[in-house]
Structure 1
Amino acid sequence: MVEPVVVSGRRVVPVARMKERATRLASGLRRMGVEPGDRYAVVMRNETGMLEATFAAPLIGAVPVPVNWHWTGVDLRHLLSDSQSVVALVHSDLVPVVEAQKPEHLRIVEVGVPEEVAEEYALGTVPSTGRYPTAEELIEDNEPPTEQVLAPPMSVIYTSGTTGLAKGVVRDPIPPEKIGEIAGIMRHVVGFRPGGTAVVPAPLYHTAPNVAATFALAMGMNLVIMARFDAEQFLRIVEEHQVTAAQMVPTMFLRLLRLPREIRAKYDLSSLETVSHSAAPCPPDVKRAMIEWLGPVVTEYYGGSEGGAWTVCTSEQWLAHPGTVGVPVADAAIRVLGPDMTEVPAGETGVVYGRSPSAWPDFTYLGDDAKRRAIDGGDGFYTLGDVGRVDEDGYLHLSDRLNDMVISGGVNIYPAEIEATLLGLAGVADVAVFGIPDAEFGEALAAHVELLPDATVTEDDVRAHVGRNLARYKVPKVVVFEQRLPREDSGKLFKRRLREKYWPAKAGS
């Protein structure tokens, strides 16, 4: 049997070697004073060292907290303080950023920046600061721990904070007898299977790619991690490594489809068995184009950091029910509730509540059980803040985020529909639609638009395109062109950063 490997740039590391290094790192962290139940932050880009930091934690009963390494200022300060992390493992070039925001008690372990990451981000040679112990020293100077931790805690991952400061999701440990069930769900949802090869092109500090990477390795798969997503490089990786499963987000689909046809045709993608996506709405035209290109291997799932996947949708199901995010996976369940918290009839819109598969562990929010109770719908159901409907055949369709819904003149407007329409306008690369104050109607619509290079789209073009395809009341009153929209690597849009200039009083809400 061929030993599975992790591929990071030009580095090919046997999984057994990576896990052995993780055991030594675990011992080193324990000697530094990291106790069972303690949390430690991981401020690193995608590379094997981040996986080592993740795998080390459960060996000593500690909890890894992956950190969005883009964060600075209040976002980073909030996470480091809120998580009560006792140590932070930090790439050398990011050490000054963490030093500027860290609580006094936090200790830093410096991690060298590998060549493939330095190249991808044009960092040049990144020397050690020399101010802190290094991860490599901890690995070299320590032996693997001798005690085994039963039912170790899961990582605490902070949600993206698109409408406010991020909140940490604390999940119960997975009982050993449930691991097989969860592995079966992962196989169904993202196409993972022993002996296959998975590629994770999204940041490991997000839930979906983090879970995908750890489960791929647990299932005996080869794993390719990309330091950052590049469309043609992704195609090259699929062909070179005979990738069977890819976990992606819709913004990656857009970049792939914008490659010239001759580039897309250069690569053999026939090894792909499943291309799964989640995290953000996928415009119908984009989804259809991906299915036409790759075949019926495109799978969508809906859920969240809190409770894993609630629904799953194959290509065939989506083509039969365009726009759906699928039907419940395993023994999960979905309810759509009205303002009185009673279930609405099929076809009617309301707030979506889900119940995770029974194998998935329960959760709360770190230091904020009240926030957990606020989203509870009873009987194990809770909401992620989405609005949608279930059709006559039992397929869930999402309209938008509840927080994004605009009420203009008493009419509910869902910006996601307008955004999907504008992405079909030639020259538009990305768009964000949201509500702004309006003296007459309460709220009006604003569209912030990012254009493709050399595009000549005007405000009138934007309004005319929406007017031709949707009701007139959905035409944006304000159109602003942005050089780049503030979109997270996971595909989520930070609309609060755009709203703040219009709603100063709500900026911190």
Structure 2
Amino acid sequence: MGTDAIRVADHVRAHAAATPDAVALIFEGRETSYGALDAQASRVANGLIAAGYGVGDRIAYLGKNRDDYFGLWLGAVKAGLVMAPVNWRLAPPEVAYILADARPRLIVVEPEFLDRVTDSAATILLADQGAGHPLFADWRDAQDAADPRRDVGYDDAVLMLYTSGTTGNPKGAMLSNRSLLGLRASVPSAELPEWYRWTAQDVSLIAMPIFHISGSGWGLWTLQHGATGVVVREFDPTRVLDLLVTFRITKIMLVPTALRILCDHPQAADTDFSFLKTICYGGSAIPLDLLRQAIAVIGCGFAQMYGMTETAGTIIGLPPQDHDPQGSERMRGIGVPLPGVRVRIANEAGETLPAGEIGEIMVASQACMIGYFDRPDDTAQALDAEGWLRTGDAGRMDADGYLYLADRIKDMIITGGENVYPAEVENALYSHPAVADVAVIGVPDAKWGEAVKAIVVPVEGETPDPAALIAWARERIAAYKAPKTVEFRSDLPRNPSGKILRRLLRDDYR
């Protein structure tokens, strides 16, 4: 496919032409039709072009979920720019690092996060009423509504999502039109798994944060198919239950932690969920007791989605028919590759291993990222010349093609659906004067799936307070990354080369 292939903004253009009055987005009482969304995007694009922003420049959004984000993103696409949403949950130093790395020309920010972008050289617009900067909506609506059609090519970046690395410094994964659209475009709809198909009659809940692929990608799937997306500023179970019923939502994407909160809500038992077709979940496997509870309370189909930022989201899925409330071997896995996705298990030399043997999960598909922004060495390490992406997850494949995770090569912790890398937390704690050595692991947690735990070797003669260490970390990294608990030891297990053996530490808690 070349530059004439259907690109991200083309879908909304087409729906605006065919069904201009159809509702694209609903947000806190405000409805936006496809015609209006397309016009908003064109106005944004013309404003960016008039300001002198060039093809490939970045713009950023720092705030919670809102409908305006999608008009802003589509406008950037129409002007040939790249959207970079920033995680509002990060600590100020982390936000500053990302903005310095991305070098956006324009930042749209919600007023409550404005103090985190004061050092930026970018033009700043406020997403809501506030002081000191122009309002985004006023700026947008003052622009011309003619579509400039300055979209970049099919293989050029349109979205950049920051993902943490083992070094603690996040990297901007660049996703192209092909990354976001190519997988579906290459396979007829009838050949897609039923749970993975969409129609214009679907109503989706966009509840996952838009700085994740689970938020931006889910929203794009909605708009791509001419469906209606109900945007939730942030997950709240009471609000979500009300919206599910009010708008008869058919598709929802959640992490297991959010699903448990939803099922435990007193209102859930009296809610009619008959209109809900599928709950897609990701971030971690669903515990068997939660599946049983969700089937009893909600009663729809459940599909596990495995993917990563670098694969533009879902590439492997465990379909509803494999969700057995009695438990099964397949329930322990992540499912089978989607049509158009190739998966192999490789050893350290990159050689493909036979069924049943554990190695690194390697994937190849049109969904893979272009690479990491301004990081050619990291890109080369993640993507080989043949397009195979290293996931960093260890796993095995059975004779039927089902995949099972064995471990996380990068020691990543998934807590409440958020990825936390031990090195980030360890770096924050190492700077404390009373910490001589530290290892961070994930330990089982009934609510969050995993909780961050720090195992600290104090400086000789020091007796640091666990609460003080946690507070120290929260000042330097996002609150969800900070340890929930701290344990003290006299030393940490290491291999002959000095590397901490986190697996041995995890075994103490499993």
TM bucket, shorter chain: 0.7 to 0.9
| Aligned residue in 2 for 1:363 | 370
Kept in 1: contact 2:395–2:405 (CA 8 A): yes
**Superposition RMSD in Å:** 3.8
Query: Structure 2 matches for 1:126-141, cutoff 5 A?
Result: 127-129=129-131, 131-141=132-142
Q: Helix, strand or coil for the counterpart of 1:238?
A: helix
Q: Match for residue 111 of structure 1?
A: 127
Within the alignment, does 1:192 sit opposite 2:179 as a pair?
Answer: no
Cα distance, 1:221 vs structure 2: 0.5
Matches of 1:228 and 1:177, distance apart in 2: 29
| Equivalent residue, structure 2, for 1:58 | 77
State the alpha-carbon separation in 2 of the partners of residues 94 and 345 from structure 1: 50
Q: Which amino acid in structure 2 is aligned with residue 111 of structure 1? A: A
Residues 1:258 and 2:258 are matched in the alignment: no
Task: Report the alpha carbon displacement of residue 373 of structure 1 after superposing the two structures with TM.
Answer: 1.7
Q: Work out whether residues 80 and 158 of structure 2, in 8 Å CA contact, stay in contact via their aligned partners in 1.
A: no
Matched ranges for 1:90-101 at <5 A: 90-99=109-118, 101=119
- Alignment match, 2:216: 210
Aligned partner of residue 274 in structure 2, secondary structure:
coil
Write out per-residue CA displacement over residues 446-490 of structure 1, whole angstroms, 9 at most, x where no aligned residue.
xxxxxxxxxxxxxxxxxxxxxxxxxxxxxxxx9x9999x98xxx9
2:186 partner letter = E
- Is the 1:26–1:145 Cα contact (8 Å) retained in structure 2? no
Deviation at 1:150, TM superposition (A): 4.2
- Render the CA deviation track for 1:33-73: whole Å, top value 9, x for unaligned: 22221111111221111122111101111111111122232
Mapped partners of 1:66, 1:405: distance in 2 = 22
Residues in 2 aligned to 1:74 and 1:183: alpha-carbon distance in whole angstroms: 45
Give the secondary-structure state (helix, strand or coil) at the position aligned to 1:336. Answer: strand
d(CA) in 1 for partners of 2:151, 2:57 = 16
What per-residue deviation string (whole Å, max 9, x for no partner) do you get for residues 325-370 of structure 1?
Answer: 10110121222223343333333322211222x4x35420011121
Q: Which residue of 1 aligns with 2:360?
A: 351
Offset, 1:282: 3.1
* Match of residue 494 from structure 1: 481
Q: In the TM superposition, what is the alpha-carbon distance from 1:74 to its structure 2 partner?
A: 2.1
**Structure 2 residue aligned with 1:75:** 94
Q: Alpha-carbon deviations, 1:213-268, whole Å to 9, x = none?
A: 122112110110111111232222111111111111111112123223xx222211
What corresponds to 2:336 in structure 1?
327
Q: TM-score, normalising length from structure 1?
A: 0.74
Structure 1: gaps (5+ residues):
113-126, 407-414, 440-477
Give the 5 Å matches for 1:378-389: 379-389=386-396
- Counterpart in the other structure of 1:314: 319
Alignment partner of 1:394 is 2:397:
no
User: Contact conserved, 2:126 with 2:136, CA < 8 A, in 1?
Assistant: yes
SS in 2 for 1:30: helix
Q: Is the 8 A contact 2:57 2:105 kept in 1?
A: yes
- Give the TM-score, by structure 2 length: 0.74
Q: Percent identity between the aligned chains?
A: 22
1:266-322 CA distances to partner (integer Å, 9 max, x unpaired)?
211111112111133433332343244433511111111112322111122243512
- 1:9 partnered with 2:18: no
1:434: Cα distance to partner? 6.1
Q: Label 1:315 to 1:59 Cα distance change in 2 as closer, same or farther (>3 A).
A: same
**What SS does the aligned partner of 1:136 have?**
helix
User: What 5-or-longer segments of structure 2 have no aligned partner?
Assistant: 1-18, 414-440, 459-465, 493-497, 501-510
Do 2:268 and 2:297's aligned partners in 1 also have CA atoms closer than 8 Å? no
Q: Deviations over 1:380-400 (max 9, x none)?
A: 322221122222322111133
Number of aligned pairs?
A: 428
